[in-house]
């Protein structure tokens, strides 16, 4: 299996690979995830999924995974301790600068893989900006969007709560599969201040509706994580990695060398 770690390579190795490889830039966040999960959740899951997906196809498609952009647009979580947030303008500029850097290194296929809802529109804007200035193939998506159909049907993910939700049954199950030592099971179940509506409709096709102060009023999580399990988390993680790997493979093949 080929090495997919961008940061482990030398300048010469990157320069040689760049014109022929897809480079993945994981974009995440550091922010509160309820009382039972660490602020690392989005960054850890984003890096884990990107790396596993790249490794799954590395024998057939050259893929490099950059260090995760750990801090995202998380101002809506500043009511709670823990967030390291960038303004939307700042994050967009960071993503533009980083993708410009990748172009300068010779990459022609650049994919932004997002793992935090607050970044959703910004990763897409960064890609739009990039292709206006450079003759490259660029893509952007959140991991749950790429895996949505599989999560709804094969994974039955709604049995755990909202997808992706925030610090609920879905994310807590993934964390139990990846780093169970970081999950405070003794704090579950979580008291629900409001019941979130469950739907199998892909959020990409639904209106975005936000209410001022909603995160503060919710307690900082979307649903109770009491049903979370490591077994279900492993099943869902495997589905996500499979779907992200397929998406990266398809993306790569859209541009001939």
78: Cα separation from own chain's centroid: 20
**CA-CA distance, 137 to 109, in Å (whole number)?**
5
pLDDT given at position 203 = 72
pLDDT tens-digit readout, 23-44:
999 999 999 999 999 999 999 9
Q: What is the pLDDT of residue 192?
A: 77
Band (pLDDT 50/70/90 cuts) for residue 6 is very high
251 phi and psi angles, rounded to 5 deg: -60, -45
CA distances from 226 to 42, 142, 168, 182 (A): 20, 25, 8, 16
141: nearest Cα among 243, 64, 71: 243
Write the CATH number of the domain with boundaries 6-200+212-253. Answer: 3.40.50.10310
Q: What is the pLDDT of residue 228?
A: 96
- In the numeric block, which tokens belong to residue 39? 């602020």
**Residue 2 confidence (pLDDT):** 78
Pick from 45, 12, 42: nearest CA to 30? 42
Number of alpha helices (DSSP H) and beta strands (DSSP E) in the chain: 9, 4
For residue 181, CA distances in Å to 170, 176, 184 come to: 17, 8, 8
**Pairing verdict, β 137-142 and 63-65:** unpaired
Q: Report residue 171 as tokens.
A: 């994310």
Q: What is the pLDDT of residues 221-237, one digit of tens each?
A: 999 999 999 999 999 99
The span from the CA of 105 to the CA of 178, in Å, is: 32
Residue 220: pLDDT band by 50, 70, 90 thresholds?
A: confident
pLDDT tens digit string along 81-113? 999 999 999 999 999 999 999 999 999 999 999
How does the average pLDDT of the chain come out, rounded?
93
Residue 190 has a pLDDT of: 87
What is the pLDDT, as a whole number, of residue 66? 98
Per-residue confidence (pLDDT) for residue 145, from 0 to 100: 97
Length of the chain: 257
Question: What span, in angstroms and rounded, lies between the C-alpha atoms of 246 and 92?
Answer: 27
So what's the pLDDT on residue 256? 76
* Residues 6+ away with beta carbon under 8 Å from 135: 108
Enter the pTM of the model: 0.94
């Amino acid at each position: 299996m080929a090495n997919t770690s961008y940061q482990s390579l030398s300048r010469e190795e990157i320069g040689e690979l760049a014109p022929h490889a897809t480079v993945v830039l994981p974009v995440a966040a550091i922010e509160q995830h309820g009382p039972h999960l660490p602020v690392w959740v989005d960054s850890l899951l984003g890096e884990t999924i990107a790396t596993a997906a790249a490794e799954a196809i590395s024998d057939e498609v050259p893929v490099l995974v950059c260090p995760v952009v750990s801090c995202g647009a998380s101002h809506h979580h500043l009511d709670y301790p823990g967030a390291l947030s960038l303004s939307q303008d700042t994050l967009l500029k960071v993503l533009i600068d980083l993708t410009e850097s990748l172009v300068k290194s010779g990459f022609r296929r650049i994919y932004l893989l997002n793992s935090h809802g607050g970044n959703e529109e910004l990763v897409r804007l960064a890609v739009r900006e990039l292709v206006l200035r450079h003759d490259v193939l660029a893509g952007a998506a959140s991991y749950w969007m790429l895996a949505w159909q599989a999560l709804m049907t094969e994974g039955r993910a709604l049995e755990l709560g909202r997808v992706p939700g925030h610090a609920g049954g879905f994310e807590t199950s993934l964390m139990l599969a990846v780093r169970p030592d970081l999950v405070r099971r003794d704090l579950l179940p979580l008291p629900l201040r409001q019941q979130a509506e469950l739907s199998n409709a892909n959020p990409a096709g639904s209106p975005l509706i936000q209410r001022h102060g909603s995160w503060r009023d919710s307690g900082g999580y979307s649903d109770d994580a009491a049903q979370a399990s490591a077994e279900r988390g492993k099943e869902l993680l495997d589905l996500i990695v499979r779907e992200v790997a397929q998406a990266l493979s398809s993306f790569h093949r859209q541009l001939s060398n």
